Structure formats: structure tokens, C-alpha cells
Amino acid sequence: MKPFKINRNSWHYWVNKNLFQNSHMPYWEDNHRDFCSYWRATVFRVIFASFLSLLILVFAVILGAAVYKDPVGFALVIGSVTTIVAGSIGLFDLLIYLRDRHRRKASTEKPEGLLAQRYRAYKSRICPMVEYEK
């Protein structure tokens, strides 16, 4: 099976490289040379980030419920939290896009997706090696 090429500008690479890292793993790529370990790390981090987002949302709802006697205040709290989170994500995405737009090349070959590669690895029962590229 051919190696799975991972673009260092992809969302899953960014999640694995920057989310929930500690000082004991300075060389993240060296620990994830096969696709199966890369897949497990990605899924774990996405699920954990979703869980943290859910906790933040629950906290915002509890905070809003504390202000429930004033419906306008309740709507303002939830609306403000939603706007701040969505605005932060949008601004971060825009900054990444502006930073990397000069690096993008018009490629005729579309890279294989993460889920398609996982399905292929599951069916063949072989974990291909991972190649990191810019």
C-alpha cells in the first residue's frame, strides 16, 4: 500500500500538532509514523475538543439560566458567548487562510481524504506509513 501523504497545512495535522501537547512529546511526527496511530491521535483529539466545547456551552447555559429572570439578559449572555466563539473561530480561520494563501498551489491531483484512507486501511488490514509534506 502506498504511503499516506499528510499536508502540514491540513486541519487534522494542525489539531494533532497543537492540541493537547505536553513537553514530553516535542517531536510529534516521530511518534506517529504509521496511519493507524495518526488516526487514533486525531480521533482522540477531536472527541476531546468536542467534549471541551460542550462543557463551555453547558457553562454558558448555566450562566444564562442564572440570569433567566431577565429574558433579555439571558439572550444577551448566550448570544454574546456564541458570537465571541464563532467570531474567534472565524477570525482564526481567516488568519490561517491569509497566511497560507501564497503557499497554495493549483494541483490537478486531489489528495486522498482522511476517512477514505481509514476505510482503505481497515479493508486491507494494513496501516500504511505516513509521509509529512508541506
**pLDDT value of residue 27:** 66
For the chain, what is the mean pLDDT?
79
Predicted TM-score (pTM) of this structure: 0.57
Determine which of 40-44, 45-49, 59-63 has the lowest per-residue pLDDT on average: 59-63
Once rounded to an integer, what is the mean pLDDT over residues 64-74? 72
Query: Is 12's pLDDT higher than 90?
Result: no
Burial of 97 (0-12, 13-18, 19+ CB in 10 A): exposed
Question: Which three cell numbers, joined as nine digits, stand for 26?
Answer: 516535542
**pLDDT value of residue 24:** 59
Task: Output 59-68 pairs: Cβ under 8 A, ≥24 positions apart.
Answer: none
How many whole angstroms separate alpha carbon 13 and alpha carbon 7? Answer: 7
Q: How many CB atoms lie within 10 A of CB 16?
A: 21
